[in-house]
Chains A and B, each alone.
Chain A
Amino acid sequence: MQSNDILINIVRFIALVFIQVLLLNNINLGGYINPFLYIYFILLFPLDGNKSLLIFLSFLLGLSIDIFEDSGGVHAAASAFIAYIRPIVLKYSFGVSYEYKSVKIKKADTTEKITYITSLVLMHHFVMFSLEIFSFKHIPLLLKSTLFSGIFTIVLTMCTMILFNRKSK
């Protein structure tokens, strides 16, 4: 990681927490659908960055959201989980090119990008909602929340990626 990368990631961390708690948590589309854009930080963390550092930072990121939301540790658990599982998902969605560290997430093939984002977002939402709901009685609600919030998050993540990609060119 270069010093430029470090700065970008610090700014991204703080900006995403604020956007999430002040703006996105109040959308409540259809009563309960909110996007969780803050995992954009985990998705775009440099591929050659330290993996332990990513797990720790993701935990902190989730915990910050939890403190604002009064939700215990559900976001922290889900974020640490996808940070840990990220190398496996990377290998599975980008294939061999990931092994040679030649991939750049922003410039990758669209299909591969969608696979990568979709898998991580759905895993994150599933872990988060199961911990939040925490009861077998509400499994339909769990699946419904995961699906709809997941779609919302994926669309928003793609839009953010396109938006910031164009700027940097």
Chain B
Amino acid sequence: MQQIIFFFIRNKNFLLFAVLFIIAIALTIQSHNYHNNKFISSANVVTGGIYTVRNNITDYFTLAKENEDLLQENLMLRKKLSQYKELNLAPTLDSGNILNKFEYYSARVINNNYSKTKNQLTLDKGRSDSIKRDYGVISSKGIVGIVSDVSNNYSTVQSILNTKSRINAKLKKSSHFGSLIWNTKNPNIAQLIDIPRIADIEKGDTIITGGRSTIFPEGVLIGTVKDFHLDNDDNYYYVNIDLFNDMTSLEHVFLIKNNDAIEINELEKGVEDAE
């Protein structure tokens, strides 16, 4: 007994280090797992509060660019509106009675990183603003990521610049679809894989979201084809994409809620269970 106690006293530094190291590794591995509740994340009162204070200050430096972006978006929306008017598609039903398939919320980015391999953003909206996990996040220019964790007033977003992200995407002109991934090299360039060889693909083609997931609506802009080559098996294309979004400067984003998501997921789960 005495020897055991002596052993502990002699090696107390090593034992302390080992315990702490194992805790840290466990936290790391757990953070690599998307569908787990995280013990620690920046969506909490202290870190969220500090990031909000910082953003209240730094927001002023980007006002000019923000205005420019809003102007561009207004212009685009106006064009679309006039097109609808020309087509005489004025709604005849009382739109208040129809539940839209997608609902949008706006939020501000209070922390953004893009220099790591698993990047996250923090937003200033949370559970009290009816934000939930798995909502899609886009900006006025294109796709940003998916909500991965929510606290009362803040939420964290798994950016598309994250090696864990895989988002269904397709070619706009031919609807051949694949998965959007990121190879960690450049925050302005993402990759599209699993595009079948028969797809007719050219430089400059537009890539949009595929609508096969319950997270994003179909047709959210992603980017244009920069270059492409066949992968090792010669069956699929590996495409580099210039993102429309500048992921290094995000200020305001929109969150998307899919009102049918629960129904679709339950239905698909039911099919799996039956099998």
Q: Which residues of A contact B (CB under 8 A)?
A: 21-22, 25, 28, 31-34, 51-52, 55-56, 59, 62-63, 66-74, 76-77, 80-81, 83-84, 131-135, 138, 141
Check if B31 is an interface residue, CB within 8 A of chain A: yes
Interface digits, B104-117 against A, CB 8 Å rule (1 contact, 0 not)? Answer: 00000001011111
Query: Is B209 engaged at the interface, CB distance under 8 Å to the other chain?
Result: no
Are A63 and B40 within 8 A (Cβ)? yes
Residues of B close to A32: CB separation below 8 A: 115-116
The 8 Å CB contact of B163, one of A56, A76, A135, is A135
24 A–B pairs (Cβ distance < 8 Å), ordered by A: A21-B50, A22-B50, A22-B54, A25-B113, A31-B115, A52-B13, A56-B16, A67-B42, A68-B51, A68-B111, A72-B29, A72-B32, A73-B23, A73-B40, A74-B28, A76-B24, A80-B17, A81-B17, A84-B13, A131-B28, A132-B116, A133-B184, A134-B28, A138-B117
- Determine the chain B residues whose CB is within 8 A of the CB of A21 once the complex forms: 50
Chain A CB within 10 A, most for which of B29, B47, B115, B120: B115
Q: Looking at the assembled complex, report how far the CB atom of B153 sits from the nearest CB atom of chain A, in whole angstroms.
A: 16
**What is the interface size of chain B, counting residues whose CB is below 8 A from a CB of the partner?**
41
Binding site secondary structure of chain A: helix
Q: A69 — which chain B residues lie within 8 A by C-beta?
A: 42, 113
A68 to chain B, nearest CB (A): 5
Q: Does B27 contact A (CB under 8 A)?
A: yes
Q: Which of B12-26 contact A (CB under 8 A)?
A: 12-14, 16-17, 20-21, 23-26
- The answer to whether A31 and B113 touch (CB under 8 A), given A76-B27, A81-B17, is no
With contacts A72-B31, A138-B117 known, is A131 near B21, CB below 8 A? no
Residue of B nearest to A131 (CB): B28
| B128 CB within 8 Å of chain A | no
In addition to A55-B13, A66-B27, A77-B28, 7 A-B residue pairs with Cβ atoms within 8 Å of each other are A28-B114, A52-B12, A59-B24, A62-B24, A63-B40, A67-B47, A73-B23
Given A63-B40, A80-B20, A80-B21, A138 and B28 touching (CB < 8 A)?
no
Measured CB to CB, the closest approach of chain A to B45, in angstroms, equals 11
Does B187 reach chain A (CB closer than 8 Å)?
A: yes
Given contacts A73-B28, A76-B20, contact A31 B42 (CB under 8 A): no
